[in-house]
Amino acid sequence: MSSEITSLITFVESYLTWLSSASGELATYSLLVAFAVLSALELNYPKRKLPLKQLRQSYRTNTGLFVFNSIVISLLSSTPLLMVADRYSNWGMLNYIANPAWKALLSFLLLDLMLYCWHRTSHSFDGLWMFHKVHHNDPYLNISTAFRLHIIELLIITVLKSAYIVLFGVDKATVLTNEALLTLFIMFHHTNVSFYGEKRLGQVIVVPYLHRAHHSTERNEHDNNYGEVFSIWDRLFGTFIEREPAKIGIKNSSPQTVLGLIKFGFTPANPAPAPVYEMDLNLKAMIAEAAYYKAEKRAFKPGNEMRDWLEAKREIICMVYGDKSIRQQSNNSGCSSIQRPFTLC
């Protein structure tokens, strides 16, 4: 295990040094090639067989959301992170490290740790989950899901990354390198594939089978595996699980269009359900007594027992819980179509 980590660090070190000298155009070209290759792999060798029509819809929506976010970010500034790095890279804690390769590697580790903390926080607070749930509502997990982000969440992440750049004094070349690597890893672990040695590789980095658990509809599963690149953070902080989710996405229906997702991000994370009563023994006794008096008024004439019970039930629940609850319960119980000759409270 230690030899694998050492080999990975050596590889990352050399790759960071090479990529730092590469131009932005080359980094973009490399990511486009990686996207095309991973897309071809998941289409030809999918881990889960996804309906082609729904998969196309997912690609269209996620691509459209990516374009929309890119336009908004470019209106604010074409390269906000690079501009921050250009101005503040001369001071910061990493400037005390002389070796450029170790400085680049440490900056990448710190960035990944910061994103782990942010990701975990966005699951812990409803005000942040409200936007982050847009990323989770894709029921057909695929490489394009990597770009399914609400614009508000993207802006918050950009601010956090800017603060990180200022605090540690990260230069432009390293910022470009980190962003390219980060995007590559995120595309990779969203890809709908499985491969030999995946679990072994997952001991160090986040692989598709680990991230699928994070996209489970069940909260006890998706509130785990927060890592973006390295799985060591989840192991270290106790949020690591290995589980194949039964279903992907979020519970309840949610929009699957670009405009719908933008609006969806501004809806409450967990809207409070209308109160529904729980019929205990005391409540049943009250209804039975009320039904008895209704029958008594008609001299116990047969044929109206069900009507007496339903009228008594509605009146008692209305009296105890209010009009809103009785309407909700009526809808849930399928009684809304029954003709009722009396007025609600």
**277 in Cβ contact with 321 (< 8 Å):** yes
Whether the predicted pLDDT of 293 surpasses 70: yes
Closest CA to 187 of 29, 15, 341, 36: 36
pLDDT at 9: 52
Radius of gyration of the chain (CA): 28
Closest CA to 206 of 187, 239, 229, 223: 229
Q: What is the spatial distance between Cα 135 and Cα 66, in angstroms, rounded to a whole number?
A: 12
Match 């070349």 to its residue by tokens: 173
The rounded percent of the chain whose pLDDT value lies above 70 is 79
The rounded percent of the chain whose pLDDT value lies above 90 is 46
How many CB atoms within 10 Å of residue 275? 11
| Token code pair at residue 310 | 């339903």
| Token code pair at residue 113 | 């740790």
Q: What's the chain's average pLDDT?
A: 81
How many CB atoms within 10 Å of residue 120? 17
pLDDT at 326: 47
For residues 63-78, average pLDDT: 78
Q: How far is CA 263 from CA 68, 260, 267, 291, in A?
A: 13, 5, 7, 48
Q: pLDDT tens-digit profile of 153-195?
A: 999 999 999 999 999 999 888 998 899 999 999 999 999 999 9
Q: What pairs with residue 205 in β-bridges?
A: 230
* Burial annotation 137-167 (CB, 10 A radius, 16+ → b, else e): bbbbbbbbbbbbbbbbbbbbbbeebbebbbe
pLDDT at 287: 80
Whether the predicted pLDDT of 93 surpasses 70: yes
For residues 237-257, average pLDDT: 93
Q: pLDDT tens-digit profile of 147-163?
A: 999 999 999 999 999 99
DSSP notation for 8-23: HHHHHHHHHHHHHTS-
pLDDT at 341: 37
Confidence class for position 73, pLDDT limits 50, 70, 90: confident
